Structure 1
Amino acid sequence: MKQQNPYTLTFGKEPTQLIARAAQSQQVIDAFLGEPSAQQVYMVTGIRGSGKTVFMTEIARKIASQKDWISVELNPERDLLTSLAAKLSSENELARLFQSAEINLSFFGFGLDVKSAAPITEIETALQKMLLSLKKKGKRLLISVDEVTNTPQMRAFAAAFQIFLRQDLPVYLLMTGLYENVSALQDEKSLTFLYRAPKIHLGPLNIGTIAEDYRSVLGLGEQEGLALAKLTKGYSFAFQVLGYFAWENADDPRAARQLARQYLDEYAYDKVWSELSRKDREVLCGIAQVKSGRIGDIRELLGLSTNEFNPYRQRLIRKGIISGEERGYVRVLLPFFDQYVLAHYDLG
Structure 2
Amino acid sequence: MAAYENPFTPSFGEIPAHLAGRKQIIENLNRAFSSARRKPELTTIVSGARGTGKTTLLTLLAHKAEERGWISVSTTALPGMLDDIEIRVRKHAAHLLDHESSHALAGLGIPQVIDVRFEKAEQPADNWRSRMEGLLDQLEAHGSGLLITVDEVDVELDEMVQLAAVYQHFVREERKVALLMAGLPHHVSALLSDKTVSFLRRAQTEQLGRIADFEIEDALLKTIRENGRDANPDGLKRATEAIGGFPFLMQLVGYRSWDANPKNELISYDDFQYGIDLARSELRERILEATYRELSPQDVRFACAMLEDERESRIADLVARLDRSSAQVAQYRKRLIDAGIIGQRGRGVVAFELPYFRDFLSEKRANGELD
TM-score (norm 1): 0.86
The answer as to 2:13 corresponding to 1:12 is yes
Gaps of at least 5 residues in structure 2 are: 105-117, 261-267
For 2:148, what is the secondary structure of its paired residue?
strand
Note the residue ranges of structure 1 that are not aligned, 5 or more in a row.
Answer: 107-112
- Separation in 1, partners of 2:142, 2:81: 24
Per mean C-alpha deviation after superposition, the further-off stretch among 212-221 and 337-346 is: 212-221
Per mean C-alpha deviation after superposition, the further-off stretch among 115-124 and 325-334 is 115-124
Instruction: Measure, in 1, the Cα distance between the counterparts of 2:338 and 2:142.
Output: 42
Equivalent pair of 1:25/1:59 in contact (CA under 8 Å): yes
Larger Rg: 2
1:1-348 maps to which residues of 2 (within 5 A)? 1-19=2-20, 21-39=22-40, 40-67=42-69, 69-90=70-91, 91-96=93-98, 99=100, 118-150=123-155, 151-215=157-221, 217=224, 219-249=230-260, 250=268, 251=270, 253-295=272-314, 296-345=316-365, 346-348=368-370
Percent identity for Structure 1 against Structure 2: 29
The 8 Å contact of residues 6 and 17 in structure 1, kept in 2 or not, is answered as no
Distance 1:50 1:114 in 2: 55
The AA in structure 2 aligned to 1:157 is: L
Deviation at 1:297, TM superposition (A): 4.1
Q: 1:323·1:333 contact (CA, 8 Å) conserved in 2?
A: yes
Partners of 2:35 and 2:148 in 1: how far apart?
17
CA–CA distance in structure 2, aligned partners of residues 139 and 158 of structure 1: 21
- CA distance change for structure 1 residues 300 and 70 in 2, over 3 Å: closer, same or farther? same
Give the CA deviation at 1:211.
1.9
Is the contact made by 2:257 and 2:272 (CA closer than 8 Å) also made in structure 1? yes
Q: Is the CA contact (8 Å cut-off) linking 1:50 and 1:236 kept in structure 2? A: yes
> How large is the RMSD of aligned CA atoms in angstroms?
2.8
Q: TM-score, normalised by structure 2?
A: 0.81
Runs (4+) off by over 6 Å: 113-117
Task: Say whether the 8 Å CA contact 1:28–1:42 is kept in structure 2.
Answer: no
Higher RCO (Cα < 8 Å, 6 or more apart): 2
Q: Report SS of the residue matched to 1:330.
A: strand
Q: Which amino acid aligns with 2:343?
A: S
Q: Number of matched residues?
A: 337
CA deviation profile, 1:272-331 (whole Å, cap 9, x unmatched): 111112111111112133114231444443334544433322332233222213445322
